Amino acid sequence: MSAKKSFRPKILQTIRQANDNGDDAAAFYENRRKWAEYLVAMPGLSDRAFRVGYWLSRRMNGDDKCCWYSVPGIAERMGKSERSIRYGIAELRERNVLIVVEEKGKQNCYFLHAPFM
């Protein structure tokens, strides 16, 4: 029986576009800022979804362009219920502004999706 291989490294390799001079990280931080501004102006987006999205985005770095947190971990750090966090993430996914990579037994991996760019 062969061990199931994780697809996380493949997706990270696909999403990352690293270079050695830091330009890619600087571009990521600028796009992250634009992403947050886009959320602020998004009609009908709940305050809950904005707060969860903003919290996640501020924990992403320019190297990985993502962050890893479990829903209970986010809830604890934000002082909110797990249910509230799940609803916020679901709304961001439905609005096509957040990509979530889920693997059983591991923390979720979150990426910003900027459909406006």
85 part of a folded domain: yes
13 part of a folded domain: no
64 part of a folded domain: yes
Read off the CATH number of the domain in which 57 is found: 1.10.10.10
Q: Domain of 106?
A: 23-112
Structural domains of the chain, count: 1
100 part of a folded domain: yes
75: three-class secondary structure by DSSP: helix
* Beta strand segments in the chain, E: 67-69, 98-101, 108-112
75 part of a folded domain: yes
pLDDT tens column, 65-116: 889 999 999 999 999 999 999 999 999 999 999 999 988 888 889 999 987 6
94 part of a folded domain: yes
Instruction: With a cut of 80, say whether residue 23 has pLDDT above it.
Output: no
C-alpha distances in angstroms, 77 versus 72, 73, 82, 100? 9, 6, 11, 19
pTM summary value: 0.80
Structure tokens at 91: 């709304």
60: three-class secondary structure by DSSP: coil
